[in-house]
Amino acid sequence: MLEVSNLSTYYSNIKILKDISFTVQRGEVLCLLGRNGAGKTTTLKSIMGLVDKVEGNINFNNERISKISAHLVPKKGIGYVPQGRRLFSELTVEENLEIGLLTRKNGEQTINKVLEMFPRLNERLKQVSGTLSGGEQQMLALARALCIEPTLLLLDEPTEGLQPSMISLIRKSVLELKKQGVAILLVEQRVEAILSIADKIIVIENGAIVFSSTAQKIKNNPKKLYRFIGV
Amino acid sequence: MDLGPYLLFASLEGLVHAAVLSLIALGLSLVFGVMRIVNVAHGEFFMLGAILAWWISGFVFGSPAIGFLLALIIAPLIAGVIAMSSDWLILKHLKYDPEATIIATIGILYIIQQAVLMTFGPDARPVEQPFNYRLDLYWFGFSAYKFFVVFSAIILLFSVWLVMAKTKFGLILRATQLDSETAQAFGIPISTVYSLVFGVGAAIAAVAAVLIVPIQQAHYLMGGEPLLLAFIVVIIGGLGSLRGTVAAAVLIGMSDGIISVFFSPNLAKIIATLFVVIVLLIKPNGLFGSEKT
Ligand SMILES: Nc1ncnc2c1ncn2[C@@H]1O[C@H](COP(=O)(O)OP(=O)(O)O)[C@@H](O)[C@H]1O
Ligand SMILES: [Mg+2]
């Protein structure tokens, strides 16, 4: 479904990502691990078309998306939950969701489904999103991305700075989406938060993939992964 | 005249100033708010509106009201299209870099100014008032057309507010203003949005010009002073804040009008500029600007 092959990304002529390749299939959770500054966010932004220059190929449903304008990417069915949430903080909860619905023709059904998933947001539709608690903001960021009805969801450190109860709620939502067949690309810093829900794991360091394996193999022999992430 | 009626007269003149100024500043503030660029050529779109109003009304015989109405529609359209083209041809390729766009819009300023000079010449051009009626205000008569200017400005300001606050297009503008990158990730074509905003900003300035030109005359150098005053308004009101812009325009326009009537127009400009310095020292984000930078 998503095929990234030999992706190199540049910010003002500095090569940040070096020859990255991976695939994500329907209903699969791929976890991207790596230290701060490794290039995880840049990988997601490259898929969304939000970087200066990319080389290599990004295909989604057999269509090349690495050369199209950024605003056309979500229309293909790719939902994005950016690092640090990036809500439109002065807009209300409802308005943030409306932005999420922009690519859709009949959003009525979608929004009902999404609000059913997050009843806490339903109670706060008129609240300015910047005044929500951290957990609620993350819910809204996820809900906004789900308004696209994505078949591929990109999540950038969705558990960053959240309480354990919120983390388990986010995890539950991810599992639910996986069950519905959504392909998920999940960026995390903490292994323990994701090992149980990942199908495949990739570690990047300095913009290059240094380790890649399936969750099954790692369960049997976790030492190899831990060497890379320094646990 | 006694002082009371004289003050009333000066206030009414100030109100007309304020109305026109709030439109000009609104365009500048809209462009800065959404695109984060300072449009130094803004005053030239105002000038273009005025010259075009004179040019268009020259084609129409019969009642001056018809020429005026035509100008009110066509001049902002042309100014808007020219602004959108300069966005496509120039600003877009600079990636809206804040410094580069200042230099580029200075260039656009001179291109428009010199093009108008070469096409229409250096003379001041009068435009006839669409209707000539004086309201008797007991102590003095006051042009009904000036009330019409104030009224039109209020209608336009209200419409812009309505679009920003209540429509999907307004929501898209506000989202782009808050976080253009994330806006793109949700399907907003920000380069189209930027182009439109730049065009609308220029068109609003041109509307202000068409409204004022029957009182003021059109001239190829008339863009400088409104640009300065609009900057003052936008700085005092807080960049990108619609409410602040209108409030500051009323403040500056009224005091400019009153001080000009009682003392001299130059003193009015000096005081307004001093006021900016004081505001920048006390509240760097403007009187109505948000606290964050
Ligand atoms: N807009 C940018 N311009 C220039 N360099 C950037 C930009 N964004 C990120 N980088 C650089 O790219 C590298 C990878 O960053 P990022 O992808 O954010 O890492 P991660 O998400 O893994 O913490 C870092 O060295 C960072 O400094
Ligand atoms: Mg990151």
pLDDT of residue A149: 94
Domain ranges of chain B: 23-222
Helix segments in B90-139, DSSP class H? 98-120
Buried b (16+ CB within 10 A) or exposed e, B158-178: eebeeebeeeeeebbbbbbbb
Which atom of ligand 1 is nearest the CA belonging to A40?
22
ipTM above 0.85, yes or no: yes
Phi first, then psi: give them for residue B268, nearest 5 degrees: -60, -45
Q: pLDDT of A127-151, one tens digit each?
A: 999 999 999 999 999 999 999 999 9
User: What's the mean pLDDT in A166-180?
Assistant: 91
Whether A190 shows a pLDDT value over 80: the answer reads no
Query: CA angle, B284 as apex, B283 and B286 as ends, to 5°?
Result: 70
Identify the residues whose C-beta falls under 6 Å from ligand 1: A 11, 16, 34, 36-42
Q: pLDDT of A33-54, one tens digit each?
A: 998 999 999 999 999 999 989 9
**Residue ID of nearest Cα to ligand 1 atom 17:** A39
Q: Give A144's contacts in chain B (Cβ within 8 Å).
A: 186
Is residue A58 one of the residues assigned to a domain?
no
Q: Give B181's contacts in chain A (Cβ within 8 Å).
A: 50, 86
pLDDT of residue B241: 79
User: What's the mean pLDDT in B63-81?
Assistant: 95
pLDDT of residue B271: 87
| Residue A173 lies in domain | 2-38+69-229
* Confidence band for B293, pLDDT divided at 50, 70 and 90: very low
Answer with the residue of higher pLDDT: A224 or B21. B21
pLDDT of residue B269: 84
Total number of domains in chain A: 1
Nearest by CB to B171, which of A71, A73, A99? A99
pLDDT of residue A207: 94
Beta bridge partners of A3: A23, A59
Task: Please state, for a pLDDT cut of 70, what percent of chain B lies above it.
Answer: 98
Please provide the distance, in angstroms rounded to a whole number, between the alpha carbons at the two ends of chain B: 49
Whether B291 shows a pLDDT value over 60: the answer reads no
pLDDT of residue A230: 62
Q: pLDDT of A87-109, one tens digit each?
A: 999 999 999 999 999 998 888 88
Domain CATH code at residue A171 = 3.40.50.300
* Confidence band for B290, pLDDT divided at 50, 70 and 90: low
Distance from Cα A228 to the centre of ligand 1, integer Å: 20
pLDDT of residue B292: 43
Q: pLDDT of B92-101, one tens digit each?
A: 999 999 999 9
Nearest by CB to A103, which of B171, B183, B187? B187
Q: Give A90's contacts in chain B (Cβ within 8 Å).
A: 174, 178
For the entire predicted model, the pTM comes to: 0.91
Nearest by CB to A80, which of B185, B189, B190? B185
DSSP readout, B63-105?
A: -HHHHHHHHHHHHHHHHHHHHHHHHHHTGGGGTT-HHHHHHHH
Whether A231 shows a pLDDT value over 70: the answer reads no
Answer with the residue of higher pLDDT: B58 or A228. B58
Among chain B residues, the shortest Cα distance to A154 is held by B185
Is residue A46 one of the residues assigned to a domain?
no
**How many Å apart are CA B97 and CA B198, to the nearest integer?**
15
pLDDT of residue B140: 86
**How many Å apart are CA A10 and CA A42, to the nearest integer?**
9
Residue B258, classed as helix, strand or coil, is: helix
Q: Give A154's contacts in chain B (Cβ within 8 Å).
A: none
Query: CA angle, A104 as apex, A102 and A110 as ends, to 5°?
Result: 105
Q: pLDDT of B223-280, one tens digit each?
A: 999 999 999 999 888 876 788 899 999 999 888 888 888 888 888 888 888 888 888 8
Four-residue CA torsion sign, A98, A104, A106, A111: negative
Query: A102 vs B185: CB contact, 8 Å cut-off?
Result: no
Query: A103 vs B189: CB contact, 8 Å cut-off?
Result: no
Q: pLDDT of B174-225, one tens digit each?
A: 999 999 999 999 999 999 999 999 999 999 999 999 999 999 999 999 999 9
Is residue A206 one of the residues assigned to a domain?
yes
Residue A150 tokens read as 């994505």
User: What's the mean pLDDT in B149-158?
Assistant: 96
Going along chain B, which residue ranges are E strands?
134-136, 141-143
Q: At which residue do the structure tokens 């429509």 appear?
A: B167
| CA proximity to B189, closest of A59, A214, A70 | A70
Answer with the residue of higher pLDDT: A215 or B52. B52
* Confidence band for A225, pLDDT divided at 50, 70 and 90: confident
Whether A228 shows a pLDDT value over 80: the answer reads no
Is residue A123 one of the residues assigned to a domain?
yes
Residue B186, classed as helix, strand or coil, is: coil
DSSP readout, B39-57?
A: -TTHHHHHHHHHHHHHHHH
Query: Which positions 131-190 of B are in contact with A (Cβ < 8 Å)?
Result: 168, 171-172, 174-175, 178-179, 181-190
Q: What is the DSSP letter of A123?
A: T
Answer with the residue of higher pLDDT: A56 or A216. A56
**How many Å apart are CA B66 and CA A3, to the nearest integer?**
62
Residue A34 tokens read as 């790596």
